[in-house]
Amino acid sequence: MVALSRRRFLGAAGALAGALVAGCGAEEAAEAPPSDADVLAGLLRHEQALVTAPAGDTAAARAVRDQDRRHVGRLTRALSERGGAAGAPPAGDPASVPARKQQAVFVHVEALPRLSDPELRVLVMQIAASEAAHLAALRLAAGEEPVPDAFAGFTEAGAA
């Protein structure tokens, strides 16, 4: 699992500023970059976990799970097209549904710079947006503030 804390949101793009100016750090440059198939395999495991974990039986939860199944299918196909194969779904994740969804947003966004194929980046952005939307829809269904953060959870400050 990619450990991506909310505080790592590019400091309202501050950290990004350094990255844009400096490019990759020496440590990163020394490592072989992952292939698109490697990145897709990691994303697929996250989506599989979303589908296999218990999520309740509300209309919102059913709609979300149906769309997650489609994400799994599309990612599996993209992985297969690049010579990879889907592994077994991970064991049940004890995290709550919103926590899993939030993590899904994080991992899809974090994966973007590691994908070399522009069309794959667009697909992953579309899934990331869908996961963020799921989170808002589930919050609405629970009677919670649907969008507490301007950056879909990447900042803790929220919409103060």
Give the Cα separation of 126 and 28 in Å (integer).
Answer: 27
Stretch that binds another protein, among 37-45, 79-87, 90-98, 108-116 (CB under 8 A): 108-116
Burial of 146 (0-12, 13-18, 19+ CB in 10 A): middle
Distances (CA, A) of 147 to 55, 100, 111, 135: 20, 16, 23, 9
Tell me, by CB under 8 A, how many residues bind another protein: 53
Considering only residues 49 to 68 of the shown chain, the ones binding another protein according to CB under 8 A are 60, 63-64, 67
What is the spatial distance between Cα 66 and Cα 69, in angstroms, rounded to a whole number? 5
Please report how close the Cβ of residue 116 comes to another protein at its closest, in angstroms: 9
CB of 91 to another protein, least distance (A): 25
Distances (CA, A) of 81 to 29, 38, 40, 57, 84: 27, 13, 11, 34, 7
Closest separation in Å from C-beta 15 to another protein: 9
121 near another protein, rule: CB under 8 A? yes
Interface with another protein (CB under 8 A): 9-10, 12-14, 16-21, 60, 63-64, 67, 70-71, 74, 105, 108-110, 112-113, 118-119, 121-137, 140, 146-147, 149-154, 159
